[in-house]
Amino acid sequence: MLIEGKTGPWEIVIGLEVHAQVISKAKLFSGAATDFGAEPNTQVSPVDAAFPGMLPVINRFCVEQAVRTGLGLEAQINLVSVFDRKNYFYADLPAGYQISQYQRPIVGKGKITLDLPGGETREVGITRLHLEQDAGKSLHDQHPTKTYVDLNRAGVALMEIVSEPDMRSPEEAGAYLKKLRSILRYLGTCDGNMEEGSMRCDCNVSVRRPGEPYGTRCEIKNVNSVRFVMQAIEYEARRQIEVLEDGGTIRQETRLFDSGRGVTRPMRTKEHAHDYRYFPDPDLLPLVLDPAWVEEIRNSLPELPDAKKARFMREYKLSAYDAGVLAAERESADYYERVAKGRDPKQAANFVMGDLFGALNRLGVGIDRSPVSAENLGRLIDLVADGTISGRLAKDVFAAMVETGQDPATIVEERGLRQVTDTAAIEQAIDAVMAREAAKVAEYRGGKEKLFGYFVGQVMKATQGKANPAVVNDLLRKKLAG
């Protein structure tokens, strides 16, 4: 995407660094728990608080999660990786260093395929993924002059996933985050919850004239929703273009996104520029992975969104767009497949993406808490297919299902919604309508044929919608013809 400036078109160049909290009961180097929302400083071991003499011991499960994620990103798994110390002083960093991976990360180059509107796709390179500890939290708003420190988060395992500067628009950045989140959730390695901070994003943004080398980039730290990421990039790109077009230069700096005002601003400049003095952590041996173990993890990977999307297109003949939407979340994909099994897959997709997603949206719940089970939605489709109810009535039945959670057959029976295919009953209704509307019948017969729809509507109304529309059409046409 190009942005038109006062002096010509500009291209945005975006790279994202995502910090994804690893799903694990225990922290990366201690046995302390990781539950979100616990009372401050209740999930802290002496290791997390960096008490004297305490030593880190790597959590095997967190390593497995990182490998699983790497495999899900089709990335190279480094059988030998090294933990380094990143040294800096801050009150919520108890040891005065963060254990991270600097020169030798556990995962190397990989890729993510973005699903763009219109069913287009685009590949974005993954530079690396490494494991590191999270810091604690400084709470500045609890006391007028003091800062409180909560170490519950200190030591929690994070995966830092770094992309190549391959994205060219805020939309692509949004699609990247959605796809990454989808993959992580499929893998069960991160819950992707940006509001709770279990997924955080730093955006590297620069602009350039098309075809020219990369411009100077600014990093926008810690943006916490997909929407904000897109807004922040959009704002930042326009800001940079304005600076450049006014003859200024971009200073490489770290900025923050103010979501209230929709702007980015420079972070308070620290008096001291950080020199992190990385060096290998002498408390930890290099992390050596058994290739057989990596293969074991590879073989246990679930079908991932891209593969699932392709299969949906192939097996169910869905459009790229529909397949992409349904495959985005494991839960919705599973739901869809249960509905589609043995039924018309297109119709199943329409129900799931249209009626069901609409209802869930209105209710503000996820598919895992849907009031309509996949089995019941399937039965509803069956009732339409075997002519028990009309497609139009199916909407009403569905609404009742959302409300009551009941089986569609029960609703149809209890409310007497069974479709009328009895020609005698329908003929009777048609006769009544024609008798009442004699003038209109004359008009129709005089050539005003578009009145046909009106008659259909009247007959349907007379039968409370239960009449089989095909039968109504058929009989009505004959009778009107005289």
Partner 1 sequence: MTALTRLTIAEARAGLAKKEFSARELARAFTAAVERAKPLNAFITETPEKALEMADASDARRARGEALPLDGIPLGIKDLFCTKGILTTAGSHILDGFHPPYESTVTQKLWDAGAVCLGKLNMDEFAMGSSNTTSYYGPVESPWRRPGDNRPLVPGGSSGGSAAAVAARAVMAATGTDTGGSIRQPAGFCGIVGMKPTYGRCSRWGIVAFASSLDQAGPMTRTVRDAAIMLGVMAGHDPKDSTSAPLPVPDFEKALTGDVRGLKVGIPREYRVDGMPAEIERLWAEGVEWLKAAGAQPVEISLKMTKYALPTYYIIAPAEASSNLARYDGVRFGLRVEEGQSLDDMYEATRAAGFGAEVKRRIMIGTYVLSAGYYDAYYLKAQRVRKLIANDFKAAFEHCDVILTPTAPSAAFAIGEKSDDPIAMYLNDVFTVPVNLAGLPGLSVPAGLSSEGLPLGLQVIGRAFDEETVLRVGEVIEKAAAFTAEPAFTAG
Asked if 90 is part of the footprint of partner 1 (rule: CB under 8 A), the reply reads yes
Q: How far from 91 is each of 88, 154, 263, 432, CA to CA, in Å? A: 10, 11, 28, 84
- Phi, psi (degrees; rounded to nearest 5) at 236: -65, -40
**Of 88 and 454, which has the nearer Cβ to partner 1?**
88
275 binds partner 1 (CB under 8 A): yes
> Which amino acid is present at 175?
A
Residue in 9, 80, 120, 279 binding partner 1, rule: CB under 8 A: 279
What is the smallest separation between the CB atom of 366 and partner 1, expressed in angstroms? 40
- The reply on whether position 91 binds partner 1 by CB under 8 A is yes
**Among the listed residues 33, 38, 87, 427, the single contact to partner 1 using CB under 8 A:** 87
Q: How far is the CB of 160 from partner 1 (least distance, A)?
A: 20
CA angle 208, 115, 228 (to 5 degrees): 60
Residue 428 CB contacts under 8 Å (≥ 6 apart), including other chains: none
Nearer to partner 1, 60 or 369 (CB): 60
Rule CB under 8 A: say whether 89 interacts with partner 1: yes
Closer by beta carbon to partner 1, 46 or else 266: 46
- The nearest distance, CB 141 to partner 1, in angstroms, is 16
> What's the CA gap between 348 and 354, in Å, rounded?
10
Does the protein bind partner 1 through residue 277 (CB under 8 A)?
yes
Q: Is the dihedral of CA 294, 296, 299, 304 positive or negative?
A: negative
In this structure, the number of other CB atoms found within 10 A of the CB of residue 477 comes to 12
Phi, psi of 421, rounded to the nearest 5 degrees: -115, 0
Q: Which of 1, 2, 57, 80 contacts partner 1 by CB under 8 A?
A: 57
Considering only 10, 16, 56, 255, the residue that binds partner 1 (CB under 8 A) is 56
Binds partner 1 by CB under 8 A, chosen from 19, 27, 85, 181? 85
Q: How far is the CB of 3 from partner 1 (least distance, A)?
A: 36
Query: Is 46 one of the binding residues for partner 1 (CB under 8 A)?
Result: yes
Does 286 help bind partner 1 (rule: CB under 8 A)? no
* Cβ 82 vs Cβ 151: under 8 Å: no
Q: Which two tokens stand for residue 4?
A: 């038109």
Q: For residues 242 and 27, give the distance between their C-alpha atoms in angstroms, rounded to a whole number.
A: 45
- Minimal distance in Å, beta carbon 94 to partner 1? 6
Give yes or no for residue 361 binding partner 1 (CB under 8 A): no
Q: Which is nearer to partner 1, 59 or 468 (CB)?
A: 59
| Residue (of 69, 478, 3) closest to 240 by Cα position | 3
Establish how many alpha carbons lie within 13 A of residue 219's alpha carbon, considering only the half-sphere containing its beta carbon: 12
Q: Is there binding between residue 282 and partner 1 (CB under 8 A)?
A: yes
Binding flag, residue 55, partner 1 (CB under 8 A): yes
262 sits near partner 1 (criterion: CB under 8 A): no
Specify the residue, 52 or 364, whose C-beta has the smaller distance to partner 1. Answer: 52
What φ, ψ does residue 191 adopt, rounded to 5°? -80, -5
Residue 107 pairs in a beta bridge with 77, 129
Cβ nearer to partner 1, comparing 282 with 416? 282
Return the residue matching tokens 């295919």.
421
Which residue of 196, 283, 414, 443 would you call a contact of partner 1, by CB under 8 A?
283
- Minimum CB–partner distance for residue 271 and partner 1 (Å): 8
Cross-strand partners of 202: 17
Among 284, 289, 313, 425, binds partner 1 (CB under 8 A): 284
Among 52, 144, 211, 447, binds partner 1 (CB under 8 A): 52
List of residues 6+ apart from 307 with CB closer than 8 A = none
According to DSSP, the residues that pair with 131 across neighbouring strands are 159
Instruction: Find tokens 């608080």 and name the residue.
Output: 49
If one asks whether residue 149 binds partner 1 (CB under 8 A), the answer comes out as yes
> CA-to-CA distance for 138 and 124, rounded, in angstroms?
34
The tokens describing 270, both together, are: 């620290």
Q: Is 142 an interacting residue with respect to partner 1 (CB under 8 A)?
A: no
Residue 33 interacts with partner 1 (CB under 8 A): yes or no: no
Q: Is 94 in the site for partner 1 (CB under 8 A)?
A: yes
Binding residues (CB under 8 A) for partner 1: these are 46, 49-58, 85, 87, 89-91, 94-97, 147, 149, 271, 275, 277-279, 282-285
